[in-house]
Amino acid sequence: MYVAVGSGNPVKRDATESALEGRGALVEAEPVPSGVSEQPFGEEETVQGARNRAHNALDAGDYHLGVGLEGGVAHVDGADGLFLIMWAAATDGDRTEVGSGPRIRLPDDIADRVEAGEELGPVMDDVLDTSGVAENQGAAGVLTDGIIDRESALRQALAGALGPFFVAYYEE
């Protein structure tokens, strides 16, 4: 099974390989446009980015499955603050399924800068004095003190999008 993941970020490719481990998948990275903002705001824009990436990745070559992974920030009903969110989409061209990852509250100073229009990745690097945290453990790793990292969070989001392709109960 040839699978394209719609991103040049190695952490997204690693998450896809990890989610599909043992299923005979060959995963290629296809850096395609997400069709949404660099920093999606809200669940709707983040899901849309994941769906667009999945479709664009599928169309980028001769693939059986396209995968899209999108990070965003959102307010959550009933909870204070701004949350890091992540959504995954998988498509075979006929059906498209989505799944979400954890929601992790951002520290207020980071949230304020993102609300003001900055991208989370660069803000995290600035605050932590690191470079490329989004390609490594990610905000998910830093903000959970390493209980999870960005790869495992994205793998869980993708699990929800892939399940319906493998589990008969979801038959259309």
Ligand X SMILES: O=P(O)(O)OP(=O)(O)OP(=O)(O)OC[C@H]1O[C@@H](n2cnc3c(O)ncnc32)[C@H](O)[C@@H]1O
Q: Considering the complex, what minimum distance in angstroms separates the CB of residue 159 from ligand X? A: 17
The piece of 7-15, 55-63, 88-96, 157-165 that touches ligand X (CB under 6 A) is 7-15
C-alpha–C-alpha distance, residues 116 and 164, integer Å: 38
Q: Which two tokens stand for residue 166?
A: 């493998």
C-alpha–C-alpha distance, residues 23 and 115, integer Å: 40
Query: Of the candidates 20, 57, 124, 148, which one interacts with ligand X according to CB under 6 A?
Result: 124
Query: Of the candidates 47, 134, 157, 162, which one interacts with ligand X according to CB under 6 A?
Result: 134
Name residues contacting ligand X, limited to 37-96 (CB under 6 A). Answer: 38-39, 70-71, 84
Q: Considering the complex, what minimum distance in angstroms separates the CB of residue 30 from ligand X? A: 10
Query: Of the candidates 13, 51, 113, 150, which one interacts with ligand X according to CB under 6 A?
Result: 150
CA atoms within 13 A on the CB side of 45: 13
Q: Considering the complex, what minimum distance in angstroms separates the CB of residue 48 from ligand X? A: 12
Q: What are phi and psi of 23, to 5 degrees?
A: -110, 15
- Check whether 14 is labelled as a binding-site residue: no
C-alpha–C-alpha distance, residues 138 and 132, integer Å: 8
Which of 98, 140 has the CB closer to ligand X?
140
C-alpha–C-alpha distance, residues 64 and 68, integer Å: 14
Query: Could you tell me which residues are annotated as the binding site for Mg(2+)?
Result: 62
